[in-house]
Amino acid sequence: MLALRLTRAARPAVQLRRLLVAAASGGTGFLLLGALGYALGHPQTPGAAVLRLAWCLVPLAATVYFALAVARTDPGTRPRPGLSAVGLGPARLMAISALTTALSATLGSMLALLVFLHLRGDLTGMPFDGAAAQFLAADQPLPLPAALTLLTLVPVIASTTVAFALRPRDPRPPAKATRAFGRFGAYGHSAQRETFGAYGRFGARWRTAAGRKGTTPEPPPEVTDPRVTDSGDAGSVGAGSRGIASRVTGSGVIDSRATGPGITGPGITGPRLTNPSTTNPRLTNPEAPEQDADQADTPTHLPPPREAPVGLPWGIATIAAGLAVQAYAGRTTPAPDLTDLPVEAFTVLVGWVLTALGLVLASPGLTHLCGRLLQAVRPGALRLLAGRVLMGEATRIGRPLGVVCAVASATYAMTALYDGPTPTFGPLTTLGALVVTGSTVATLLTAATEARQCRADTTAALLRLGAPGSMLRSAAALRAAALLAVFGPLTLVIANLAALPMAH
């Protein structure tokens, strides 16, 4: 009931997003019912029917992804300190967002069922002179349990995904230092031996600086030797020799391990030296997660910014693998195409799935790279804000952007670059393409909205500082232009590479 009340009293933009979820769910539900109709009409070819059902997975995945993005952006299910006191805690909020998602998706599914029944002529007379009678198997009676089972797929999967993604979680314990294996892979932390020439080896001092900055970001000032912190804070290449010298004075022992967090005083041990169980607050202190959760609520606690995404090499490798699979499928003549439904298209499908996965993996890294390039050389306020924000939001924006890029390149390769016999797009294919494209683009826009909501207080502070609103808008436009400049050509290149084997 509370979910209904919260759903009703929302702003038009939020309602529009929920309606879009309902529309996507309706489209997917209609596609599923269309597959059912095909199976009813062609009981002699179960393979083709299964393949049609398998193709429905793509719109289903796009719809669920979109529903998840909308549930994340929903202001009605934001944690509210006032309501948490009366019992509307994180778990209840998760239930509410799952229920809201289920509500929108069920609305769409019901609409899909209505349209399906109407087109089959079950409700009133046959519309459109029975044009849809053939592929919807109007002459057969509709098996209602099958239809309802197919229709409940979208709401159930969407709300389960939302509940799983928004489940209340304790903040993660701080990441430990890089795991070091001992001899033969044992867990013992054996001392890293300084072999001949290891001290002056290229890059050895960088690792020291990076490891120190990464593992112990802020040593407690009251227990740290001041002689040590000034070299530890510098964290640069040139501070290496000073750091070594101060370590000698601090601990009395020449600690020459390259990766150790060598900023420890006499009585303090670094995280690397101690047993890992003592550095993990969850293990030593069972109440630590609650403390962290409390800390996350207080305004004094700033969450650390997300680290740079690391999936770029994996993504590029996966894209290459996907393109290779497509090229392998294109060796046979005639080249199978995506719009055909025979089983030979399976290899092409696998290739496209691999390519899409690679794009999703690679695009946060590419987005981060865009931001880094934007703020590269002596940036002013505009480029600094545009680039750093893009770097900070790389994961949030990049993943849906990768999905959009994959969908766009697949569409482009299927329509514009296809030079075989003119493909015929049926109404179901068009509907599926529409659902997938619309859902992915709407997901991208919703992710942008989510990023804007998360940065609302920073934007307000900037406006109080006197930053002109036009500058903030032009920073956003600069971000969009940079992303377009990178991902537009990338889409074209991927589509061309995918269409290359068919052209031969």
List contacts with another protein (CB under 8 A): 217-218, 230, 233, 299-300, 302-305, 378-381, 384-385, 388-389, 391-392, 457-458, 460-462, 464-469, 471
* Nearer to another protein among residue 252 and residue 303 (C-beta): 303
The two structure tokens encoding residue 454? 């998360």
Query: Can you list the pairs that 171-177 forms with residues at least 24 positions away whose Cβ atoms lie under 8 Å?
Result: 171/289, 171/292, 171/293, 171/295, 171/296, 173/280, 173/281, 173/282, 173/288, 173/292, 174/281, 176/215, 176/271, 176/276, 176/279, 176/280, 177/211, 177/214, 177/215, 177/259, 177/261, 177/271, 177/272
Distance CA 400, CA 446 (A): 9
Cβ 463 to another protein, closest distance in Å?
A: 8
For another protein, the closer CB: 233 or 255: 233
Whichever of 176 and 301 has its CB closer to another protein, that residue is 301
Q: Retrieve residue 203's tokens.
A: 């890059």
CB of 17 to another protein, least distance (A): 26
Spatial separation of the C-alpha atoms in residues 363 and 350, rounded to whole Å:
20
Q: Which residue has the tokens 């990766």?
A: 259
DSSP letter at 424? -
At residue 90, what are phi and psi to the nearest 5 degrees? Answer: -60, -40
Residues 90-119, buried b or exposed e (16+ Cβ, 10 A)? eebbbbbbbbbbbbbbbbbbbbbbebbbeb
Q: Which is nearer to another protein, 19 or 384 (CB)?
A: 384
Angstrom CA distances, 470 to 196, 451, 463, 476, 477, stand at: 59, 19, 11, 10, 10
Q: How far is the CB of 458 from another protein (least distance, A)?
A: 6
34 vs 219, which CB is nearer to another protein?
219
- In the complex, the smallest distance separating the C-beta of residue 2 from another protein, rounded to whole angstroms, is 25
Q: What is the residue whose two structure tokens read 């999905």?
A: 403
Structure tokens at 91: 């778990």
Residues 6+ apart with CB under 8 A from 138: 120, 121, 126, 130, 132
Residue 1 or 465: the one with the smaller Cβ distance to another protein is 465
- Gap between the Cα atoms of 300 and 442, Å rounded: 34
Closest CB 92 distance from another protein, rounded Å: 28
| Choice between 219 and 438, CB closer to another protein | 219
Cβ proximity of 213 and 244 under 8 Å: no
Amino acid at 318: T
Rounded least distance, CB 29 to another protein, Å: 41
Using the minimum distance from each CB to another protein, give the nearer residue, 153 or 451. Answer: 451
C-alpha–C-alpha distance, residues 289 and 68, integer Å: 26
Which of helix, strand or coil describes residue 135? coil
- Determine the Cα–Cα distance for residues 388 and 377; give it in Å rounded to an integer: 13
Confirm if 323 and 413 have CB atoms less than 8 A apart: no
Q: Which is nearer to another protein, 265 or 392 (CB)?
A: 392
Nearest to 72 by CA among 165, 158, 152: 165
What radius of gyration, in Å, describes the C-alpha atoms of the chain? 28
In terms of CB distance, is 118 or 388 closer to another protein?
388
Q: Do 223 and 265 touch, CB atoms closer than 8 A?
A: yes
* 8 Å CB contact between 354 and 322: yes
